[in-house]
Amino acid sequence: MQSQPLRNLSERLLHAGVAHRHVRRYIRELRDHYEDAFREELTKGLDRSQAEQAAWARLGSEEELARSVLAQPALRSTAARFPALVFGAAPVFIWFASLALIVFALFAFSETYEPAPLPGWFFRSIYGLLLVWVRVLPVLFGVLLLIASARQRTAIHWPIIGTAMVALIGGTATVHLELRATPGMSALGMNSELLPMIFPSVAALGKPNALALAGGFVRAALMLGIAATLYVIWRTRLGRVSMAI
């Protein structure tokens, strides 16, 4: 099977902005089609080499195949068309939206829970969940964004920017839990070291703390580093198995 022309075609389509899932499916169907055509050519009495050439010729030239895909706007990737939106802004929005959802669920639960006050296990569970949100989720986002960007062959700076933003927000956020023996006195809180720096005039956000902010930056850098390391491992393993899609 002449797999190099199909590999060239898939690279060309991905770089042109065709969605990864469409390219993968197209190449799979072309490979199947080639196999069928090859078998049919063999039954006509051609030898293997002639049958291979005939089957490939029937499929069409790389130029013809590429043009047929690029002529279909429905097959274009949103990420390739709007990389800043998909890899830069969307992760930040999703992170905030999911956090807002957790806070809303927490509020709804605490309002309806009977018998009040809320038990200690509830506070500990939410504390753990919020810690995952601010420390682990940015890393997961980073790895997924970098992998998605590599698969779609888009420029790598947008997923790095998106990951850095989520890591910065997560790294500079802190979660506090105070569990008290007295019923109703336990407290769970979350604050950001970044917001008082951005909005120093808003007293409710607290006073700016340069040392705490520096700690947040270090955590953000670590998260970005872990995400980048996991991505490099993925690339290395993929390179060993086989590159492409």
Partner 1 sequence: MTGVPEILILRLLADREMYGYELVQAIEAATGSAIKTGEGVVYPILHALQAGGCLKASRKPINGRTRIYYSSTAAGKKRLELMIREWSRINTAVSQVLKGVGHAIAAA
Long-range CB pairs of 210-217 (<8 Å, 24+ gap) are 212/174, 213/172, 216/168, 216/171, 216/172, 216/173, 217/168, 217/171, 217/172
Residues 10, 14, 38, 65: which binds partner 1 (CB under 8 A)?
A: 65
The residue (of 71 and 211) whose beta carbon lies closer to partner 1 is: 71
**Minimal distance, residue 32 CB to partner 1, in Å:** 7
Report the alpha-carbon distance of residue 2 to residue 113 in Å, rounded.
Answer: 65
Q: Could you tell me which residues are beta bridge partners of residue 191?
A: 174
The site string for partner 1 over 72-101 (x = CB under 8 A, - otherwise) reads x-xx--------------------------
The CA-atom distances, in angstroms, between 1 and each of 6, 7, 33, 34 are 10, 12, 12, 8
Q: Which of 15, 33, 81, 157 binds partner 1 (CB under 8 A)?
A: 33
Residue 64 makes contact with partner 1 by CB under 8 A: yes
| Segment near partner 1 (CB under 8 A); pick from 19-27, 81-89, 91-99, 233-241 | 19-27
User: Is position 175 an interface residue for partner 1 (rule: CB under 8 A)?
Assistant: no
Kindly compute the dihedral angle of the four CA atoms of residues 82, 85, 87, 92, in this order, to the nearest 10 degrees.
-170
Chosen residue from 8, 29, 96, 104 binding partner 1 by CB under 8 A: 29
Q: Where are the alpha helices (DSSP H) in 45-89?
A: 48-59, 62-70, 78-81, 83
Q: Is 51 in the site for partner 1 (CB under 8 A)?
A: no
State which of residues 43, 44, 47, 71 lies at the interface with partner 1 (CB under 8 A).
71
Query: Where along the sequence are the contacts to partner 1 (CB under 8 A)?
Result: 22, 25-26, 29-30, 32-33, 36-37, 58-61, 64-65, 68-69, 71-72, 74-75
